[in-house]
Amino acid sequence: MASNEDVDVKHLPNFEDGLKRSVDANVANGPDVDLSISEDSLNQQSLLPMFLTTKAWFIFTLSLASIVAFGAAAWGFQIITGMGVANLNHPVFWGMYIATFVFWVGVSHSGTMVSSILRLVKANWRRPILRGAEAMTTFSLLVAGMFPLIHVGRLWRVYYMFPLPNQRELWPNLRSPLAWDMTAITVYLTASSIFLYVGLLPDIALARDLCPKNHWRKIYFRVLALGWRGTHRQWLVYEKVSMLLAVFVLLIAPSVHTIVSWDFAMSITPIWHTTIFGPYFVVGAIYSGVAGVITLMILLRWVFGLDKIIKVVHLANLSKMLLLMSIIWTYFYFTDFLVAWYANNPAEQAVRSWEHHRFGVHAWLMLSCSVITICGLSWNRIRNSPVMLFGITAWVNLAMYIERYLIVVPVLSHRDNPFTWTDYTPSFVEISIACGAFAYFFLLYAVFIKLMPIVTIADVREGKVLTADMAVGNTHVRVYGNPEAH
């Protein structure tokens, strides 16, 4: 047995080497599971983003924190002065805040959903990306959950929305889509946090073991690992529970964005009042979410050098998913516009023509994104190029933000009563808060990476165990074991 001192030295990952290493292109572009990687090397590379804190990270995080602080100050200003500091008016009661809310709820959709779908279908390439995707869900939901609070006129009375028993029999109105929304988002945030934590548990235990003695991270790893030892019985329970969670998170996720879409669809506002909104929003959410996962994975590769764990093949597989979603999404655009155009409802036509005149550029930017995504991702070469994928996925999310904005704003400014027609442009305060929220998401993610293992190490290890190269004549084919085959 190695003594404690030996263990410490041996377990300290060699970070300088990790930083300087030149990534072998063959490894980065290689198959999904690298069978030649040693156990030590797997641990070190997976934990590298946590332990290796560069100056660039500090600069990045501090600049994010300052944007967040500015956004928070803007919010404080809005609370004290009144909602008037936002450029909302009569009758554009909802504006950038709600659009941003819908955007972040949308982004939250794919993380947990992609993760649970890939777990359930036992896709073998899923392994390294699960944690990054699940963390994206939780953090984007945290960001999204702030926006109803930012949006309400009297933040200090927001607890009226909660079902708190009181002697005056004051109760929230559960008929309101906002009450459903609050329920659904609370449920989804709880479920996806649990999902994230259950996935983290073995990796926290692993980080606890690999942490050098007296290292500050060891304290909270020890507490959060709950004494996990990885006994076979624990693993059996763990696998069953993760499967169960995956199924039920998958049941919750679509309901959440359907309910968000009902915030709009349940009203009698033209354009909003349509049955297509439920599936339309869910598909849009998965679309923007998958793009978000790809963007984050590419960033993880670039910033934290996870090239050997998260490989091009993972990005390529995810982008196939994105391609599928973009085709479905384009179909929804088609249906949405076609039906509204064919019905030729004057109130809807008024909104559409206003949208065309006022937001024509935005609309074309949004629509062309679909075309570019479908055409681009059909090329194997583009699917295998992180730079191109980064550009496409960033554009997808920009287009999806515009899409949410165009759902909320043009309708309200030109609705039924022509006398009330007006215009709306977000104010400086609104833009500051939206940017602050954007920075807040990345700040949470950047801090999370420093505190928790960002790679699903236990799953990668299982992949190594269950994968083999089988010789067929003069070549090799990759085979993946299924533990339930026997």
Residues 218-237 that bind other proteins (CB under 8 A): 222-223, 226-237
198 contributes a contact to other proteins by CB under 8 A? yes
Q: State the pairing for strand pair 467-472/475-480.
A: antiparallel
360 contributes a contact to other proteins by CB under 8 A? no
Q: Tokens representing 347?
A: 């109130």
Q: Tokens representing 217?
A: 């991270």
Q: Tokens representing 342?
A: 């064919």
Question: Quick one: residue 230, left, alpha or beta (phi over 0 = left, psi -120 to 50 = alpha)?
Answer: left
Using the minimum distance from each CB to other proteins, give the nearer residue, 26 or 484: 484
Among 210, 309, 439, 449, binds other proteins (CB under 8 A): 210
430 contributes a contact to other proteins by CB under 8 A? no
Among 105, 191, 265, 452, binds other proteins (CB under 8 A): 191
Q: Do 388 and 98 touch, CB atoms closer than 8 A? A: no
> For residue 111, what are the CA distances in angstroms to 63, 297, 401, 404, 434?
26, 12, 18, 19, 21
419 contributes a contact to other proteins by CB under 8 A? yes
**Count of Cβ atoms closer than 10 Å to residue 269 Cβ:** 16
Question: Quick one: residue 172, left, alpha or beta (phi over 0 = left, psi -120 to 50 = alpha)?
Answer: beta
486 contributes a contact to other proteins by CB under 8 A? yes
316 contributes a contact to other proteins by CB under 8 A? no
Stretch that binds other proteins, among 133-141, 284-292, 330-338, 414-422 (CB under 8 A): 414-422
9 contributes a contact to other proteins by CB under 8 A? no
Please name every residue paired with 477 in a beta bridge, in sequence order, or none if there are none. 470
DSSP letter for each residue of 268-332 = --TTTS-TTHHHHHHHHHHHHHHHHHHHHHHHHHHHH--TTTS-HHHHHHHHHHHHHHHHHHHHH
349 contributes a contact to other proteins by CB under 8 A? no
Rounded to the nearest 5°, which phi and psi values hold at 476?
A: -120, 145
444 contributes a contact to other proteins by CB under 8 A? no
Residues in 260-299 that interact with other proteins by CB under 8 A: 263, 266-269
404 contributes a contact to other proteins by CB under 8 A? no
Among 102, 143, 144, 206, binds other proteins (CB under 8 A): 206
Residue type, 155: L
Reference 464, options 36, 12, 18, 7; nearest CA is 36
190 contributes a contact to other proteins by CB under 8 A? yes
Binding mask 39-68 for other proteins (x = CB under 8 A): xx-xx-------------------------
> From the CB of 428, what's the least distance to other proteins, in Å?
10
Among 30, 31, 172, 279, binds other proteins (CB under 8 A): 172
Using the minimum distance from each CB to other proteins, give the nearer residue, 17 or 58: 17
> From the CB of 329, what's the least distance to other proteins, in Å?
25
Among 24, 153, 338, 339, binds other proteins (CB under 8 A): 153
| Block residue for tokens 């936002």 | 86
Among 161, 328, 365, 447, binds other proteins (CB under 8 A): 161
Among 238, 333, 359, 480, binds other proteins (CB under 8 A): 238
Q: Tokens representing 281?
A: 């929003």
Residues in 68-127 that interact with other proteins by CB under 8 A: 77, 80-84, 87-94
Among 157, 380, 470, 472, binds other proteins (CB under 8 A): 157
Q: Do 400 and 103 touch, CB atoms closer than 8 A? A: yes
> From the CB of 427, what's the least distance to other proteins, in Å?
10
